[in-house]
Amino acid sequence: MRLIALEEHFTTPAFLDGPGKGFREAMLRAGGERAAATFARLADIGDGRVAAMDEAGVEMQMLSLNYPGTEQAEGEEAIAVSRDANDLLAAALRRHPKRFAGFASLPTGAPEIAADELTRCVRELGFKGANINGHNRGRYLDDPFYAPVLARAEALNVPIYLHPTLPPPAVMQASYSGFHPATTFMIAGPGWGWHIETGMHVLRMVLAGVFDRFPKLQMVVGHLGEALPFMMPRMEASAAMLPPGAGPKRPLGDYMRENLHYTFGGFNYAPTFADLIANVGAARIMFSVDYPYGSMTEAREFLEGLPNSDADRAAIAHGNAERLLGV
C-alpha cells in the first residue's frame, strides 16, 4: 500500500543559525546525543532519508521547515530564511521527485511578500501548499492582515498546514510559568499547549468568518485534530445557543468537516483516532509520521492495525493526499 506522509520536517543552516537557534540549543541541552542525531536526520533531505523511507515502507514525504519556522523572526530575516529554505527544498525535490514533495515556508509577517512567495513555490518550484507555524508574534490568521496569504492559497487551490507553536508570551506567563524549565516546555509544548493553541487558532478562524470569506480554503492540522474532534459536539451545542449574528454562519462542525483535514503526526493512539474518524470520517484523514521525531515504522504499523476497512486505510494512506495535493 502506498504511504504518503504529510508532516515531515527538515532544517537548513540559515534556519539553525537564525530562527531555529534557540530551539536547537534547548533540544541539545535536554537531549544530548539523541538530540544531535535528530538534528542530523533533519538536515538530511537526500539519500540517507530516502534509505530510511525505503526501510520503513514510506513512498513519499511532504517536507516542511522545522518548528518554529520563521513566524517569530524579524521581517527581513523571515523573508531571507524562508526563501533560502524553499530553494534548498526545491533542489531536493528535483533530485528525488518521486520521493519528496514540499510545503512552502512563508514570512507571514509580510503577507504580500508571503503571498508572492507561495505563488513562486507552487507555480515555479512545484510545491503543494504552505506550512505555517501558528501565530505570528501573537497575531492569528483570522486577522484581516493575513488576507493576502489566505486569498492566494485559495486562488492557487493549495492547502495550508497549520503546525503548532508555543503560545504567545503573555499566555506562557499566565498559564505555564512556575515550573522547572523542562516541565514548562513540555506542558506548553508537545504535552499540551501546542495542541490547545493550534485548536484555538482554528476556532478563531471559524468564528471570525475566515472560511465564509474564503470558502474554498483548505487547512490541515496534525496530531489527530489538535483536540478539536473531541470537543466538536460540545462546541456545536454551545455555538447553537449564540444570538443571531454572533456565531458562525453555518454549524461549527460543517467547517471542521469541509475546510479542515487531519493527520496523525505522532499520535498513534487508537482511542483518539476512533474519536476523529467518528466525527469527520475517513475522507478527511491523512497519514503522517512527524519525522524524525516519530518513527515511520511505528506509524505504518499503527495504520495497518486500525480496525477499519481496507478502503478507509487506503484513503488515509494515500488516496486523500493524492486528491488534496495532486501527488
Instruction: List the catalytic residues.
Output: 290
Q: Is 166 helix (H, G, I), strand (E, B) or coil?
A: coil
Gyration radius (Cα) of the chain, Å: 19
- From the number of C-beta atoms within 10 Å of its C-beta (0-12, 13-18, 19+), residue 170 rates as exposed
Mention every residue, 6+ apart, whose C-beta is less than 8 A from residue 182.
Answer: 30
Number of CB atoms found within 10 A of residue 125's CB: 16
Secondary structure element (H or E) that encloses residue 274, with its range: helix 270-280
Q: Which residues are bridge partners to 263 per DSSP? A: 286
Contact 11, 67 (CB under 8 A): no
Tracing cell 506542558 back to the chain, one arrives at 187
Question: Which residue, 29, 28, 63, 60, is CA-closest to 43?
Answer: 63
**Do 264 and 224 form a contact (C-beta atoms < 8 A)?**
yes
Give the Cβ contact number of residue 147 at 10 Å: 15
